[in-house]
């Protein structure tokens, strides 16, 4: 079955009241919502529950990266919130990724578990300083970890999908813009271009959240796809 809800709106707010004000004007049938570290750290699991109560599915973007036992326990806690999607850093290694998958299986969760490859903020120069190799080389290494541990898919730049291409995997892509504002990303791309490169889900923040009519902007993006 083809998933028609391809847009994930990043809730990059520091105040929960702003979140609720925003989502009261968004149709939950058109998108899903991403809760990141700032909101979750400040307001906790109750944020997920409140957003579920408003009819939205949640991508919990916490990028777990720790020793396997700790990640296993953290994933158990996350899956208990009935989230739609959770992510981990594949740079934590094969054993850690397997621990996360074991948590999903032990919870009998239908949530998607996806692996972060190389952050979209990192250029070749950054990757050489951190990993000692170019961006695509590091992505290739992390792809192997993702495939061997059988995560459901990858978080990556749309430009990295070709390197990561594999059967029955999903690709979640940040750095999507309807304008040319790069912000913290190394490169940005339009929604339609990202879909053409193979993206399954588009993470879009400011282009929608800062719009004067966010639901109309959301509808226009969907129509453009």
pLDDT tens digits, residue range 96-114?
999 999 999 999 999 999 9
For the stretch 53-83, pLDDT in tens is 999 999 999 999 999 999 999 999 999 999 9
What are the catalytic residues?
Answer: 63
Quote the pLDDT of residue 120.
87
Quote the pLDDT of residue 150.
98
Quote the pLDDT of residue 185.
45
CA angle 44, 47, 48 (to 5 degrees): 105
For the stretch 150-174, pLDDT in tens is 999 999 999 999 999 999 999 999 9
CATH: 3.10.290.10, 3.20.20.70, 3.30.420.40, 3.40.50.720. Which one for 7-224? 3.20.20.70
Mean per-residue pLDDT of the chain: 93
Report how far residue 43's alpha carbon sits from residue 63's, in angstroms, rounded to the nearest whole number: 17
Domain ranges of the chain: 7-224
Quote the pLDDT of residue 179.
64
Global pTM? 0.92
For the stretch 194-225, pLDDT in tens is 999 999 999 999 999 999 999 999 999 999 98
Quote the pLDDT of residue 181.
54
Quote the pLDDT of residue 62.
98
- Which residues fall within 8 angstroms of residue 186, CB to CB, at 6 or more apart? 120, 121, 122, 123, 126, 157, 175
- Please report, rounded to a whole number, the percentage of residues in the chain having pLDDT higher than 90: 89
Quote the pLDDT of residue 177.
79
Determine phi and psi for 119, rounding to 5 degrees: -55, 145
Contact status, residue 218 vs residue 26, Cβ threshold 8 Å: yes
Instruction: Give the confidence band of 4 by pLDDT, cuts at 50, 70, 90.
Output: confident
């Amino acid at each position: 079955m083809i998933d028609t809800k391809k847009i994930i709106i990043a809730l990059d707010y520091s105040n929960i009241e702003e979140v609720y004000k925003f989502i009261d004007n968004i149709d939950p049938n058109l998108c899903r919502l991403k809760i990141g570290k700032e909101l979750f750290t400040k307001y906790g699991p109750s944020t997920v529950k409140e957003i579920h109560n408003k009819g939205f599915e949640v991508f919990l973007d916490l990028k777990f990266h720790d020793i396997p036992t700790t990640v296993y326990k953290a994933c158990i806690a996350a899956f208990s919130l009935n989230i739609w999607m959770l992510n981990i850093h594949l740079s934590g290694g094969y054993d850690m990724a397997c621990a996360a998958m074991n948590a999903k299986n032990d919870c009998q969760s239908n949530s998607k578990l996806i692996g972060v490859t190389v952050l979209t903020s990192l250029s070749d120069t950054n990757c050489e300083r951190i990993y000692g190799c170019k961006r695509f080389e590091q992505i290739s290494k992390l792809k192997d970890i993702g495939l061997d541990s059988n995560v459901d898919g990858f978080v990556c730049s749309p430009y990295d999908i070709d390197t990561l291409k594999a059967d029955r995997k999903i690709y979640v892509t940040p750095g999507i813009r309807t304008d040319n504002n790069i912000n913290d990303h190394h490169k940005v791309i339009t929604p339609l271009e990202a879909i053409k490169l193979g993206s399954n889900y588009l993470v879009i923040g400011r282009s929608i959240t800062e719009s004067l009519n966010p639901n109309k902007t959301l509808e226009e993006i969907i129509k453009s796809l």
